[in-house]
A and B are shown apart, each in its own frame.
Chain A
Amino acid sequence: MRLVMFDDFRPGVLRDDHVVDVSPAVADIQVSGNSRLMPAIIADFDRLRPAFERLAREEEGVPVSAVRLRAPNPRPTKLLCGFGNYYEPRTTFAGGQVREEAAPQQGQRDPQDMFLKSIECVSGNGDTVVLPPHKAAIFEHEAELGMVIGRRCKDLSATPEALDVVFGYTGFVDISGRGLGPAGTNSRMGKSFTGFGPMGPCITTADEVPDPNDLDIKFWVNDALRQEYNTDTMQYQVPEILAFATGYMTLLPGDFICCGTYHMDLGPLQDGDHAVMELERVGRFGFSVSDPYKRSWPPETRRQQAEREVREKGAG
Protein backbone atom coordinates (compact mmCIF):
# COMPACT_ATOMS: atom_id res chain seq x y z
CA MET A 1 0.00 0.00 0.00
CA ARG A 2 1.18 3.53 -0.69
CA LEU A 3 0.25 6.03 1.99
CA VAL A 4 0.34 9.77 1.50
CA MET A 5 -0.56 12.95 3.27
CA PHE A 6 -2.21 15.56 1.09
CA ASP A 7 -3.83 19.00 1.15
CA ASP A 8 -4.46 19.91 4.82
CA PHE A 9 -2.43 16.88 5.89
CA ARG A 10 -5.19 14.38 5.34
CA PRO A 11 -4.15 10.77 5.09
CA GLY A 12 -4.66 9.03 1.78
CA VAL A 13 -3.91 5.90 -0.16
CA LEU A 14 -2.22 6.29 -3.52
CA ARG A 15 -3.73 3.89 -6.07
CA ASP A 16 -2.12 4.21 -9.48
CA ASP A 17 -2.34 7.96 -10.05
CA HIS A 18 -5.31 8.62 -7.79
CA VAL A 19 -5.42 9.61 -4.14
CA VAL A 20 -8.19 8.10 -2.04
CA ASP A 21 -8.96 10.02 1.14
CA VAL A 22 -8.90 7.63 4.12
CA SER A 23 -9.80 10.25 6.74
CA PRO A 24 -13.15 8.53 7.40
CA ALA A 25 -11.27 5.42 8.52
CA VAL A 26 -9.25 7.37 11.09
CA ALA A 27 -12.03 9.54 12.48
CA ASP A 28 -11.70 7.87 15.88
CA ILE A 29 -7.95 8.49 16.15
CA GLN A 30 -7.49 11.41 18.48
CA VAL A 31 -4.28 13.33 18.09
CA SER A 32 -3.29 16.88 18.86
CA GLY A 33 -2.41 17.80 15.30
CA ASN A 34 -1.33 16.85 11.80
CA SER A 35 2.18 15.81 12.69
CA ARG A 36 0.96 13.14 15.11
CA LEU A 37 -1.55 11.55 12.73
CA MET A 38 0.76 9.45 10.59
CA PRO A 39 2.67 8.00 13.59
CA ALA A 40 -0.71 7.16 15.15
CA ILE A 41 -1.85 5.48 11.93
CA ILE A 42 1.40 3.55 11.76
CA ALA A 43 1.13 2.38 15.37
CA ASP A 44 -2.43 1.16 14.71
CA PHE A 45 -1.98 -0.02 11.16
CA ASP A 46 -2.93 -3.67 11.60
CA ARG A 47 -6.37 -2.53 12.73
CA LEU A 48 -6.72 0.20 10.09
CA ARG A 49 -5.40 -1.62 7.07
CA PRO A 50 -8.60 -3.45 6.06
CA ALA A 51 -10.56 -0.18 6.15
CA PHE A 52 -7.90 1.56 4.06
CA GLU A 53 -7.94 -1.30 1.56
CA ARG A 54 -11.71 -1.18 1.29
CA LEU A 55 -11.73 2.58 0.69
CA ALA A 56 -8.96 2.21 -1.88
CA ARG A 57 -11.02 -0.45 -3.70
CA GLU A 58 -14.38 1.26 -3.52
CA GLU A 59 -13.64 4.97 -3.82
CA GLU A 60 -12.56 6.59 -7.03
CA GLY A 61 -10.43 9.21 -5.33
CA VAL A 62 -9.03 12.21 -7.14
CA PRO A 63 -6.14 12.45 -9.58
CA VAL A 64 -2.91 13.04 -7.72
CA SER A 65 -2.35 16.08 -9.94
CA ALA A 66 -5.45 17.64 -8.36
CA VAL A 67 -4.16 17.48 -4.79
CA ARG A 68 -1.18 18.94 -3.01
CA LEU A 69 0.92 16.07 -1.81
CA ARG A 70 2.63 16.68 1.53
CA ALA A 71 5.51 14.84 3.14
CA PRO A 72 4.06 11.52 4.29
CA ASN A 73 5.76 11.82 7.71
CA PRO A 74 5.93 15.59 8.20
CA ARG A 75 7.36 15.78 11.71
CA PRO A 76 9.02 12.49 12.64
CA THR A 77 9.52 11.80 16.33
CA LYS A 78 13.22 11.33 15.54
CA LEU A 79 15.16 11.78 12.30
CA LEU A 80 18.29 9.63 12.11
CA CYS A 81 20.75 9.80 9.21
CA GLY A 82 23.39 7.31 8.19
CA PHE A 83 26.81 8.95 7.96
CA GLY A 84 28.38 8.22 4.61
CA ASN A 85 27.43 4.53 4.37
CA TYR A 86 28.30 3.99 0.76
CA TYR A 87 31.45 2.75 -0.88
CA GLU A 88 33.00 5.88 -2.28
CA PRO A 89 34.66 5.43 -5.67
CA ARG A 90 38.30 6.33 -5.41
CA THR A 91 39.04 9.08 -7.85
CA THR A 92 42.56 9.57 -9.10
CA PHE A 93 43.89 12.04 -11.58
CA ALA A 94 46.71 10.86 -13.74
CA GLY A 95 47.74 11.35 -17.32
CA GLY A 96 45.14 14.08 -17.69
CA GLN A 97 42.39 11.64 -16.90
CA VAL A 98 40.03 11.01 -14.04
CA ARG A 99 40.14 7.36 -13.01
CA GLU A 100 37.64 5.87 -10.65
CA GLU A 101 38.07 2.60 -8.84
CA ALA A 102 35.37 1.30 -6.57
CA ALA A 103 36.52 0.98 -2.98
CA PRO A 104 37.13 -2.62 -1.89
CA GLN A 105 34.02 -4.35 -0.62
CA GLN A 106 33.53 -5.99 2.82
CA GLY A 107 36.19 -5.94 5.43
CA GLN A 108 37.18 -2.44 4.44
CA ARG A 109 34.17 -0.53 5.70
CA ASP A 110 34.44 2.81 7.40
CA PRO A 111 33.36 2.78 11.07
CA GLN A 112 29.57 2.96 11.20
CA ASP A 113 28.04 6.20 12.42
CA MET A 114 24.83 8.21 12.37
CA PHE A 115 23.57 11.61 13.45
CA LEU A 116 20.29 13.32 14.29
CA LYS A 117 18.77 15.88 11.94
CA SER A 118 16.15 18.43 12.98
CA ILE A 119 12.62 17.03 13.00
CA GLU A 120 11.42 20.40 11.71
CA CYS A 121 13.28 20.17 8.41
CA VAL A 122 10.85 17.91 6.52
CA SER A 123 9.25 19.38 3.41
CA GLY A 124 7.13 17.84 0.68
CA ASN A 125 6.39 17.53 -2.98
CA GLY A 126 6.02 20.91 -4.62
CA ASP A 127 7.46 22.84 -1.71
CA THR A 128 10.10 25.54 -2.12
CA VAL A 129 13.23 25.08 -0.06
CA VAL A 130 14.53 28.51 0.90
CA LEU A 131 18.27 28.70 1.47
CA PRO A 132 19.14 30.42 4.76
CA PRO A 133 21.46 33.42 5.06
CA HIS A 134 24.12 31.35 6.87
CA LYS A 135 27.47 31.42 5.11
CA ALA A 136 27.70 27.82 3.94
CA ALA A 137 30.41 27.05 1.41
CA ILE A 138 27.74 25.33 -0.68
CA PHE A 139 24.32 23.70 -0.27
CA GLU A 140 24.25 20.18 -1.68
CA HIS A 141 21.58 17.55 -2.31
CA GLU A 142 21.89 14.01 -0.90
CA ALA A 143 19.13 11.80 -2.28
CA GLU A 144 18.70 8.81 0.02
CA LEU A 145 16.52 5.84 0.85
CA GLY A 146 14.27 6.75 3.76
CA MET A 147 12.37 4.45 6.04
CA VAL A 148 9.68 4.93 8.65
CA ILE A 149 9.73 2.74 11.75
CA GLY A 150 6.56 0.78 12.44
CA ARG A 151 6.90 -0.29 16.05
CA ARG A 152 8.80 0.39 19.25
CA CYS A 153 12.07 -1.52 19.21
CA LYS A 154 15.49 -1.70 20.83
CA ASP A 155 18.65 -3.80 20.51
CA LEU A 156 17.74 -5.46 17.22
CA SER A 157 20.10 -7.98 15.67
CA ALA A 158 21.33 -7.39 12.14
CA THR A 159 19.25 -10.16 10.61
CA PRO A 160 16.57 -10.07 7.88
CA GLU A 161 13.99 -10.18 10.71
CA ALA A 162 15.08 -6.65 11.69
CA LEU A 163 13.25 -5.42 8.58
CA ASP A 164 9.98 -6.39 10.29
CA VAL A 165 10.15 -3.17 12.33
CA VAL A 166 10.09 -1.03 9.19
CA PHE A 167 6.63 0.26 8.35
CA GLY A 168 7.60 1.49 4.91
CA TYR A 169 10.02 3.26 2.65
CA THR A 170 10.06 6.73 1.11
CA GLY A 171 12.34 9.06 -0.77
CA PHE A 172 14.34 11.63 1.18
CA VAL A 173 16.82 14.35 0.32
CA ASP A 174 19.26 15.26 3.10
CA ILE A 175 19.98 18.81 1.93
CA SER A 176 23.27 19.90 3.45
CA GLY A 177 24.89 23.27 3.98
CA ARG A 178 28.63 22.66 4.23
CA GLY A 179 31.34 24.29 6.26
CA LEU A 180 29.23 25.71 9.09
CA GLY A 181 30.08 25.52 12.77
CA PRO A 182 33.53 25.90 14.31
CA ALA A 183 36.30 25.97 11.73
CA GLY A 184 36.97 22.59 10.20
CA THR A 185 34.03 20.81 11.80
CA ASN A 186 31.45 20.91 8.95
CA SER A 187 28.66 20.92 11.52
CA ARG A 188 25.66 18.74 10.92
CA MET A 189 23.56 21.81 11.81
CA GLY A 190 24.01 22.70 8.13
CA LYS A 191 21.52 19.89 7.43
CA SER A 192 18.92 21.10 9.92
CA PHE A 193 17.54 24.23 8.30
CA THR A 194 13.80 24.43 7.78
CA GLY A 195 12.80 22.56 4.63
CA PHE A 196 16.13 20.75 4.28
CA GLY A 197 14.43 17.33 4.28
CA PRO A 198 12.20 16.94 1.21
CA MET A 199 10.37 13.64 1.57
CA GLY A 200 8.01 11.73 -0.66
CA PRO A 201 6.02 11.05 -2.65
CA CYS A 202 4.48 8.39 -0.40
CA ILE A 203 5.33 5.70 2.10
CA THR A 204 5.34 2.34 0.35
CA THR A 205 4.58 -0.26 2.98
CA ALA A 206 7.35 -2.76 3.59
CA ASP A 207 5.38 -5.71 2.18
CA GLU A 208 5.77 -4.10 -1.27
CA VAL A 209 9.54 -3.72 -0.90
CA PRO A 210 11.04 -7.21 -0.69
CA ASP A 211 14.61 -5.93 -0.56
CA PRO A 212 15.37 -2.34 0.46
CA ASN A 213 18.95 -3.01 -0.56
CA ASP A 214 17.98 -3.38 -4.21
CA LEU A 215 16.31 -0.09 -5.05
CA ASP A 216 17.34 2.37 -7.75
CA ILE A 217 17.58 6.02 -6.79
CA LYS A 218 17.72 8.87 -9.28
CA PHE A 219 17.98 12.59 -8.65
CA TRP A 220 17.72 15.38 -11.24
CA VAL A 221 18.26 19.12 -11.03
CA ASN A 222 16.67 21.12 -13.85
CA ASP A 223 16.26 17.88 -15.80
CA ALA A 224 19.97 17.06 -15.60
CA LEU A 225 20.60 13.70 -13.93
CA ARG A 226 22.90 14.19 -10.95
CA GLN A 227 22.66 11.10 -8.76
CA GLU A 228 21.93 7.58 -10.00
CA TYR A 229 22.71 4.57 -7.84
CA ASN A 230 21.34 1.39 -6.35
CA THR A 231 21.01 0.84 -2.61
CA ASP A 232 22.91 -2.44 -2.93
CA THR A 233 26.13 -0.48 -2.56
CA MET A 234 25.38 0.51 1.07
CA GLN A 235 28.28 -0.35 3.36
CA TYR A 236 25.94 -1.17 6.23
CA GLN A 237 22.75 -2.56 4.81
CA VAL A 238 19.34 -1.84 6.24
CA PRO A 239 19.33 -4.61 8.90
CA GLU A 240 22.72 -3.39 10.10
CA ILE A 241 21.48 0.21 10.20
CA LEU A 242 18.55 -0.90 12.33
CA ALA A 243 20.82 -2.93 14.63
CA PHE A 244 23.23 -0.02 15.00
CA ALA A 245 20.55 2.59 15.69
CA THR A 246 18.59 0.42 18.13
CA GLY A 247 21.80 -0.42 19.96
CA TYR A 248 21.94 3.24 20.87
CA MET A 249 18.31 4.23 21.31
CA THR A 250 14.74 2.98 21.42
CA LEU A 251 13.00 3.60 18.11
CA LEU A 252 9.31 4.52 18.00
CA PRO A 253 6.58 4.21 15.37
CA GLY A 254 6.98 7.34 13.29
CA ASP A 255 10.74 7.61 13.71
CA PHE A 256 12.52 8.16 10.42
CA ILE A 257 15.89 6.89 9.22
CA CYS A 258 17.67 7.89 6.03
CA CYS A 259 20.41 5.58 4.89
CA GLY A 260 23.21 7.81 3.62
CA THR A 261 24.57 8.27 0.14
CA TYR A 262 27.88 8.45 -1.64
CA HIS A 263 29.41 11.77 -2.42
CA MET A 264 30.84 11.92 -5.92
CA ASP A 265 27.52 12.81 -7.53
CA LEU A 266 26.44 15.43 -5.05
CA GLY A 267 25.95 18.89 -6.46
CA PRO A 268 24.67 22.31 -5.48
CA LEU A 269 21.10 23.36 -4.93
CA GLN A 270 20.70 27.04 -5.76
CA ASP A 271 18.21 29.74 -6.57
CA GLY A 272 15.73 28.78 -9.25
CA ASP A 273 16.53 25.07 -9.26
CA HIS A 274 13.82 22.50 -9.70
CA ALA A 275 14.78 19.09 -8.32
CA VAL A 276 13.19 15.67 -8.76
CA MET A 277 13.90 12.47 -6.87
CA GLU A 278 12.79 9.01 -7.92
CA LEU A 279 12.95 5.95 -5.69
CA GLU A 280 12.15 2.54 -7.16
CA ARG A 281 8.88 1.03 -5.84
CA VAL A 282 8.00 4.36 -4.24
CA GLY A 283 7.79 6.99 -6.91
CA ARG A 284 8.83 10.45 -7.85
CA PHE A 285 8.51 13.84 -6.18
CA GLY A 286 9.91 17.29 -6.79
CA PHE A 287 10.69 20.57 -5.07
CA SER A 288 12.04 24.00 -5.92
CA VAL A 289 14.86 26.01 -4.43
CA SER A 290 14.93 29.71 -3.75
CA ASP A 291 17.77 31.86 -2.43
CA PRO A 292 17.02 35.43 -1.43
CA TYR A 293 20.78 36.04 -1.51
CA LYS A 294 21.15 34.73 -5.09
CA ARG A 295 24.32 32.83 -4.39
CA SER A 296 25.47 30.69 -7.31
CA TRP A 297 27.70 27.71 -7.93
CA PRO A 298 28.60 25.85 -11.14
CA PRO A 299 25.69 23.44 -11.67
CA GLU A 300 27.83 20.30 -11.64
CA THR A 301 28.45 17.33 -9.38
CA ARG A 302 31.68 16.86 -7.45
CA ARG A 303 32.68 14.27 -10.03
CA GLN A 304 31.98 16.66 -12.91
CA GLN A 305 33.92 19.38 -11.12
CA ALA A 306 36.93 17.07 -10.72
CA GLU A 307 36.75 16.10 -14.38
CA ARG A 308 36.47 19.71 -15.46
CA GLU A 309 39.47 20.73 -13.38
CA VAL A 310 41.55 17.95 -14.87
CA ARG A 311 40.57 19.02 -18.37
CA GLU A 312 41.36 22.65 -17.60
CA LYS A 313 44.74 21.68 -16.18
CA GLY A 314 45.47 19.65 -19.29
CA ALA A 315 44.45 22.50 -21.55
CA GLY A 316 46.59 25.06 -19.73
Chain B
Amino acid sequence: MKLVTYDEFVPGLLQDGRVYDMTGVTSGLGVLEWDEVMPAIIANFDRLSDQIRALARSGEGRPVEQVRLRAPVPRPAKIACSVANSPESRGQEPTAMDFYFKSPEAVIGMGDTVVLPKLTAFQFPHEAELAVIIGKEGTNVPANEAMSYVFGYTGFIDVSARDVGRPRVGTFFGYSFDTFAPMGPWLVTADEIPDPHNIQVTLSVNGKLRQDYNTGEIAHRIPALIEYASSIFTLYPGEVITCGTNPKGVGPLQDGDQVVMEVQKIGSLTSAVRDPLKREWPSE
Protein backbone atom coordinates (compact mmCIF):
# COMPACT_ATOMS: atom_id res chain seq x y z
CA MET B 1 0.00 0.00 0.00
CA LYS B 2 1.18 3.54 -0.67
CA LEU B 3 0.29 6.24 1.84
CA VAL B 4 0.72 9.97 1.33
CA THR B 5 0.17 13.23 3.11
CA TYR B 6 -1.02 16.01 0.83
CA ASP B 7 -2.38 19.55 0.58
CA GLU B 8 -3.22 20.86 4.09
CA PHE B 9 -1.54 17.79 5.59
CA VAL B 10 -4.39 15.45 4.75
CA PRO B 11 -3.60 11.72 4.99
CA GLY B 12 -4.22 9.79 1.81
CA LEU B 13 -4.15 6.40 0.14
CA LEU B 14 -2.41 6.41 -3.23
CA GLN B 15 -3.65 3.77 -5.62
CA ASP B 16 -3.44 3.56 -9.42
CA GLY B 17 -2.35 7.18 -9.64
CA ARG B 18 -5.24 8.51 -7.55
CA VAL B 19 -5.23 9.86 -4.01
CA TYR B 20 -8.08 9.02 -1.62
CA ASP B 21 -8.65 11.10 1.51
CA MET B 22 -8.11 8.97 4.63
CA THR B 23 -9.38 11.56 7.12
CA GLY B 24 -12.54 9.53 7.72
CA VAL B 25 -10.61 6.55 9.08
CA THR B 26 -9.19 8.71 11.89
CA SER B 27 -12.56 9.54 13.42
CA GLY B 28 -12.21 6.99 16.20
CA LEU B 29 -8.63 7.87 17.07
CA GLY B 30 -9.23 10.77 19.46
CA VAL B 31 -7.79 14.25 19.33
CA LEU B 32 -4.96 14.50 16.83
CA GLU B 33 -2.82 17.50 15.97
CA TRP B 34 -1.69 17.81 12.35
CA ASP B 35 1.55 15.96 12.93
CA GLU B 36 -0.09 13.15 14.88
CA VAL B 37 -2.47 12.08 12.11
CA MET B 38 -0.24 9.79 10.06
CA PRO B 39 1.49 8.30 13.15
CA ALA B 40 -1.96 7.48 14.59
CA ILE B 41 -3.03 5.79 11.35
CA ILE B 42 0.22 3.83 11.39
CA ALA B 43 -0.23 2.83 15.03
CA ASN B 44 -3.76 1.57 14.34
CA PHE B 45 -3.15 0.25 10.85
CA ASP B 46 -4.07 -3.39 11.42
CA ARG B 47 -7.49 -2.29 12.60
CA LEU B 48 -7.93 0.33 9.86
CA SER B 49 -6.44 -1.34 6.80
CA ASP B 50 -9.68 -2.82 5.44
CA GLN B 51 -11.37 0.54 5.79
CA ILE B 52 -8.43 2.21 4.03
CA ARG B 53 -8.46 -0.27 1.16
CA ALA B 54 -12.19 0.29 0.71
CA LEU B 55 -11.55 3.98 0.02
CA ALA B 56 -10.17 3.09 -3.41
CA ARG B 57 -13.50 1.55 -4.32
CA SER B 58 -15.34 4.75 -3.40
CA GLY B 59 -14.38 6.34 -6.73
CA GLU B 60 -13.68 9.69 -5.11
CA GLY B 61 -9.95 9.91 -5.60
CA ARG B 62 -8.07 12.78 -7.21
CA PRO B 63 -5.22 12.39 -9.69
CA VAL B 64 -1.97 12.52 -7.75
CA GLU B 65 -0.64 15.18 -10.15
CA GLN B 66 -3.34 17.53 -8.90
CA VAL B 67 -2.45 17.42 -5.22
CA ARG B 68 0.50 18.92 -3.42
CA LEU B 69 2.37 16.01 -1.96
CA ARG B 70 3.90 16.59 1.45
CA ALA B 71 6.35 14.31 3.21
CA PRO B 72 4.36 11.17 4.04
CA VAL B 73 5.05 11.70 7.76
CA PRO B 74 5.30 15.49 7.69
CA ARG B 75 6.77 16.00 11.16
CA PRO B 76 8.15 12.80 12.69
CA ALA B 77 8.64 13.14 16.44
CA LYS B 78 12.12 11.68 16.08
CA ILE B 79 14.38 11.27 13.08
CA ALA B 80 17.39 9.12 13.99
CA CYS B 81 20.01 9.16 11.24
CA SER B 82 22.66 6.46 10.97
CA VAL B 83 26.23 7.64 11.17
CA ALA B 84 29.01 6.15 9.05
CA ASN B 85 26.92 3.25 7.79
CA SER B 86 28.80 3.08 4.52
CA PRO B 87 30.38 0.24 2.63
CA GLU B 88 34.00 1.08 3.19
CA SER B 89 33.55 -0.23 6.72
CA ARG B 90 32.80 -3.69 5.43
CA GLY B 91 35.50 -6.28 5.21
CA GLN B 92 37.21 -4.60 8.13
CA GLU B 93 36.09 -4.41 11.70
CA PRO B 94 32.75 -2.63 11.33
CA THR B 95 32.60 0.91 12.66
CA ALA B 96 30.40 0.99 15.77
CA MET B 97 26.84 2.06 15.06
CA ASP B 98 25.86 5.56 15.94
CA PHE B 99 22.99 7.97 15.37
CA TYR B 100 22.28 11.65 15.49
CA PHE B 101 18.89 13.30 15.68
CA LYS B 102 17.76 15.50 12.83
CA SER B 103 15.32 18.33 13.58
CA PRO B 104 11.72 17.45 12.62
CA GLU B 105 11.40 20.97 11.24
CA ALA B 106 13.86 20.00 8.49
CA VAL B 107 11.30 17.83 6.72
CA ILE B 108 9.95 18.95 3.34
CA GLY B 109 8.07 17.07 0.65
CA MET B 110 7.97 16.36 -3.03
CA GLY B 111 8.88 19.36 -5.13
CA ASP B 112 9.77 21.56 -2.14
CA THR B 113 12.92 23.66 -1.98
CA VAL B 114 16.05 23.13 0.08
CA VAL B 115 17.07 26.62 1.19
CA LEU B 116 20.74 27.03 2.03
CA PRO B 117 21.42 29.12 5.13
CA LYS B 118 23.60 32.18 5.03
CA LEU B 119 26.30 30.92 7.36
CA THR B 120 29.69 30.01 5.98
CA ALA B 121 30.01 26.30 5.30
CA PHE B 122 32.55 24.26 3.41
CA GLN B 123 29.78 22.66 1.37
CA PHE B 124 26.12 21.59 1.48
CA PRO B 125 26.13 17.97 0.32
CA HIS B 126 23.24 15.62 -0.39
CA GLU B 127 23.07 12.10 1.04
CA ALA B 128 20.42 9.91 -0.62
CA GLU B 129 19.04 7.33 1.83
CA LEU B 130 16.35 4.76 2.40
CA ALA B 131 14.28 5.71 5.45
CA VAL B 132 12.45 3.25 7.67
CA ILE B 133 9.13 4.30 9.18
CA ILE B 134 8.46 2.63 12.53
CA GLY B 135 5.14 0.84 12.96
CA LYS B 136 4.84 0.16 16.67
CA GLU B 137 6.28 1.22 20.00
CA GLY B 138 9.56 -0.53 20.77
CA THR B 139 12.20 -0.50 23.50
CA ASN B 140 15.17 -2.86 23.55
CA VAL B 141 13.93 -4.62 20.42
CA PRO B 142 16.05 -7.69 19.62
CA ALA B 143 17.39 -7.72 16.05
CA ASN B 144 15.53 -10.95 15.24
CA GLU B 145 12.21 -9.21 15.98
CA ALA B 146 13.11 -5.84 14.51
CA MET B 147 11.54 -6.20 11.07
CA SER B 148 8.11 -6.56 12.70
CA TYR B 149 8.56 -2.97 13.94
CA VAL B 150 8.94 -1.64 10.39
CA PHE B 151 5.73 -0.14 9.01
CA GLY B 152 7.18 0.94 5.70
CA TYR B 153 9.79 2.86 3.79
CA THR B 154 10.28 6.14 2.02
CA GLY B 155 13.02 8.12 0.31
CA PHE B 156 15.10 10.60 2.29
CA ILE B 157 17.76 13.14 1.30
CA ASP B 158 19.93 13.96 4.32
CA VAL B 159 21.24 17.43 3.47
CA SER B 160 23.87 19.03 5.69
CA ALA B 161 26.11 22.03 6.16
CA ARG B 162 29.65 20.67 6.36
CA ASP B 163 32.35 21.90 8.63
CA VAL B 164 30.24 24.21 10.75
CA GLY B 165 30.29 24.40 14.53
CA ARG B 166 33.07 22.98 16.64
CA PRO B 167 35.81 21.28 14.65
CA ARG B 168 36.38 17.54 15.17
CA VAL B 169 33.53 17.13 17.59
CA GLY B 170 30.69 15.94 15.36
CA THR B 171 27.55 17.39 16.90
CA PHE B 172 25.76 16.94 13.54
CA PHE B 173 23.81 20.15 14.19
CA GLY B 174 24.61 21.17 10.60
CA TYR B 175 22.20 18.45 9.46
CA SER B 176 19.30 20.19 11.17
CA PHE B 177 18.61 23.33 9.16
CA ASP B 178 14.97 23.84 8.16
CA THR B 179 14.36 22.23 4.71
CA PHE B 180 17.36 19.90 5.00
CA ALA B 181 15.22 16.71 4.91
CA PRO B 182 13.32 16.14 1.67
CA MET B 183 11.27 13.01 2.29
CA GLY B 184 8.99 11.01 0.01
CA PRO B 185 7.43 10.87 -2.43
CA TRP B 186 5.23 8.51 -0.43
CA LEU B 187 5.39 5.78 2.17
CA VAL B 188 5.37 2.23 0.86
CA THR B 189 4.23 -0.39 3.36
CA ALA B 190 6.71 -3.10 4.29
CA ASP B 191 4.83 -5.88 2.52
CA GLU B 192 5.71 -4.25 -0.81
CA ILE B 193 9.45 -4.34 -0.03
CA PRO B 194 10.21 -7.79 1.36
CA ASP B 195 13.96 -7.23 1.02
CA PRO B 196 14.94 -3.65 1.91
CA HIS B 197 18.60 -4.67 1.64
CA ASN B 198 18.41 -4.96 -2.14
CA ILE B 199 17.06 -1.56 -3.14
CA GLN B 200 18.78 0.59 -5.74
CA VAL B 201 19.07 4.25 -4.74
CA THR B 202 20.13 6.94 -7.19
CA LEU B 203 20.42 10.70 -6.95
CA SER B 204 20.89 13.04 -9.91
CA VAL B 205 21.51 16.77 -9.94
CA ASN B 206 20.43 18.70 -13.04
CA GLY B 207 20.06 15.43 -14.92
CA LYS B 208 23.56 14.23 -14.09
CA LEU B 209 23.83 11.01 -12.06
CA ARG B 210 25.76 11.49 -8.81
CA GLN B 211 24.87 8.68 -6.39
CA ASP B 212 24.02 5.13 -7.48
CA TYR B 213 24.20 2.38 -4.90
CA ASN B 214 22.33 -0.59 -3.52
CA THR B 215 21.14 -0.70 0.11
CA GLY B 216 22.78 -4.10 0.33
CA GLU B 217 26.05 -2.23 0.60
CA ILE B 218 25.34 -0.57 3.94
CA ALA B 219 27.41 -1.81 6.84
CA HIS B 220 24.75 -2.22 9.52
CA ARG B 221 21.44 -3.63 8.36
CA ILE B 222 18.01 -2.49 9.43
CA PRO B 223 17.50 -5.05 12.22
CA ALA B 224 20.80 -4.00 13.82
CA LEU B 225 19.91 -0.32 13.47
CA ILE B 226 16.53 -0.83 15.12
CA GLU B 227 18.04 -2.95 17.87
CA TYR B 228 20.69 -0.37 18.68
CA ALA B 229 18.45 2.69 18.41
CA SER B 230 15.76 1.10 20.58
CA SER B 231 18.37 0.20 23.20
CA ILE B 232 18.94 3.91 23.74
CA PHE B 233 15.46 5.40 23.29
CA THR B 234 11.93 4.12 22.77
CA LEU B 235 10.74 4.16 19.17
CA TYR B 236 7.16 5.16 18.37
CA PRO B 237 4.94 4.70 15.32
CA GLY B 238 5.64 7.19 12.56
CA GLU B 239 9.22 7.84 13.63
CA VAL B 240 12.06 7.62 11.18
CA ILE B 241 15.37 5.78 11.11
CA THR B 242 17.55 6.57 8.11
CA CYS B 243 19.87 3.89 6.84
CA GLY B 244 22.89 5.93 5.83
CA THR B 245 24.38 6.30 2.38
CA ASN B 246 27.24 5.24 0.17
CA PRO B 247 29.42 8.36 0.12
CA LYS B 248 30.51 7.73 -3.47
CA GLY B 249 28.99 10.50 -5.56
CA VAL B 250 27.90 12.67 -2.63
CA GLY B 251 28.47 16.23 -3.81
CA PRO B 252 27.52 19.85 -3.22
CA LEU B 253 24.08 21.35 -3.67
CA GLN B 254 23.89 24.92 -4.89
CA ASP B 255 21.48 27.57 -6.07
CA GLY B 256 19.21 26.50 -8.91
CA ASP B 257 19.92 22.78 -8.67
CA GLN B 258 17.14 20.32 -9.47
CA VAL B 259 17.62 17.12 -7.52
CA VAL B 260 15.93 13.83 -8.34
CA MET B 261 16.28 10.87 -6.00
CA GLU B 262 14.94 7.51 -7.12
CA VAL B 263 14.40 4.63 -4.76
CA GLN B 264 13.59 1.28 -6.33
CA LYS B 265 10.14 0.02 -5.37
CA ILE B 266 9.21 3.44 -4.02
CA GLY B 267 9.53 6.17 -6.62
CA SER B 268 11.05 9.53 -7.44
CA LEU B 269 11.51 12.45 -5.07
CA THR B 270 12.24 15.84 -6.61
CA SER B 271 13.73 18.80 -4.78
CA ALA B 272 14.83 22.28 -5.80
CA VAL B 273 17.71 24.16 -4.19
CA ARG B 274 17.88 27.87 -3.48
CA ASP B 275 20.80 29.83 -2.06
CA PRO B 276 20.13 33.46 -1.18
CA LEU B 277 23.90 34.00 -1.37
CA LYS B 278 24.24 32.37 -4.83
CA ARG B 279 27.42 30.54 -3.84
CA GLU B 280 29.02 28.16 -6.32
CA TRP B 281 30.91 24.95 -5.79
CA PRO B 282 32.62 22.87 -8.46
CA SER B 283 30.47 19.77 -8.95
CA GLU B 284 33.36 17.39 -9.41
Which residues of chain A have a CB within 8 Å of any CB of chain B?
30-32, 36, 77-78, 83-84, 110-121, 132, 134, 154, 180-183, 185, 187-189, 192-194, 247-250, 252
Contacts and interface: CB of A to CB of B under 8 A. Distances in A.
Contacts of B78: 118-120
B211 to A, nearest CB: 23
A83 B117 contact: no
B100 A132 contact: no
B236 to A, nearest CB: 9
Contacts of A194: 139, 232-234
Shortest Cβ-Cβ A-B pairs, 3 listed = A113-B165, A116-B101, A115-B171
B95 interface: yes
A189 to B, nearest CB: 6
A181 B98 contact: yes
A114 B173 contact: yes
Contacts of A192: 101, 232-233
27 contacts: A78-B105, A83-B165, A83-B166, A83-B169, A112-B165, A113-B169, A114-B165, A115-B100, A115-B173, A116-B100, A116-B101, A116-B103, A119-B78, A120-B234, A180-B96, A180-B98, A181-B83, A185-B170, A188-B100, A188-B171, A192-B101, A193-B233, A194-B233, A247-B119, A248-B103, A249-B105, A249-B106
A180 B177 CA distance: 25
A119 B77 contact: yes
B232 A114 contact: no
Nearest to A246: B178
Nearest to B161: A248
Contacts of B95: 182
Nearest to A115: B171
A214 B33 CA distance: 38
Interface in B75-126: 77-78, 83-84, 95-96, 98-106, 117, 119
B233 to A, nearest CB: 4
A108 to B, nearest CB: 14
A9 to B, nearest CB: 15
Contacts of B96: 180-183
Given A119-B78, A193-B232, A249-B106, A32 B32 contact: yes
A247 B117 contact: yes
A113 B166 contact: yes
A116 B233 CA distance: 13
A290 to B, nearest CB: 17
